[in-house]
């Protein structure tokens, strides 16, 4: 069965600094990987997804993630944090073509200070 581990439940950065949110996955078959963002009192919005095409995936709001099979990782980055990036971020995995339900990590709360 697939699983996701997000390292760090809380990450704090200064405005303009690099954002790095870590995600490692476990899957017995080639995975599909996703990053979702949840702003306070809202539902989940897809940031980006990897579905076996390019390993470097670009998403909305300047975020990107790189699929590294050898490291079983799918870390989320953004070169320069903005105050509006403060939110909770979830990494999720599904078993690719098998189309299983999404399994989520426990989330990382990103705080951005001025």
Partner 1 sequence: DADVTQTPRNRITKTGKRIMLECSQTKGHDRMYWYRQDPGLGLRLIYYSFDVKDINKGEISDGYSVSRQAQAKFSLSLESAIPNQTALYFCATSDSGAGSTEAFFGQGTRLTVV
Exposure letters 39-75 (e unless 16+ CB within 10 A, then b) = eeeeebeebbbbeeeeeebebeeebbbebeeeeebbb
State yes or no: residue 111 binds partner 1 (CB under 8 A): no
What's the min distance (Å) between Cβ of 22 and partner 1? 14
CA 20 to chain centre: 9
What's the min distance (Å) between Cβ of 75 and partner 1? 17
Number of residues that bind partner 1 (CB under 8 A): 26
CB-nearer residue toward partner 1: 6 or 24: 6
Site for partner 1 in 29-68 (CB under 8 A): 32, 34, 36, 42-46, 49, 51-52
Contact with partner 1 (CB under 8 A) among 63, 87, 94, 112:
94
Give the residue from 84, 82, 71 showing the smallest Cα distance to 16.
82
* Residues forming the site for partner 1 (CB under 8 A): 6, 9, 32, 34, 36, 42-46, 49, 51-52, 90, 92, 94, 96-97, 99, 101-107
């Amino acid at each position: 069965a697939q699983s996701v581990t997000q390292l760090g439940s809380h990450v704090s950065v200064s405005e303009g600094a690099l954002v790095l949110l870590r995600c490692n996955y476990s899957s017995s078959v080639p995975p599909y990987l996703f990053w979702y963002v949840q702003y306070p009192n809202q539902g989940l919005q897809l940031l980006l997804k990897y579905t076996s095409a390019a390993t470097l995936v670009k998403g909305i709001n300047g975020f990107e993630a790189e699929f590294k099979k050898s490291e079983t990782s799918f870390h989320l980055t953004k070169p320069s944090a903005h105050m509006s990036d403060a939110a909770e971020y979830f990494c999720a995995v599904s078993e690719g073509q098998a189309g299983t339900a999404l399994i989520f990590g426990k989330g990382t709360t990103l705080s951005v200070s001025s």
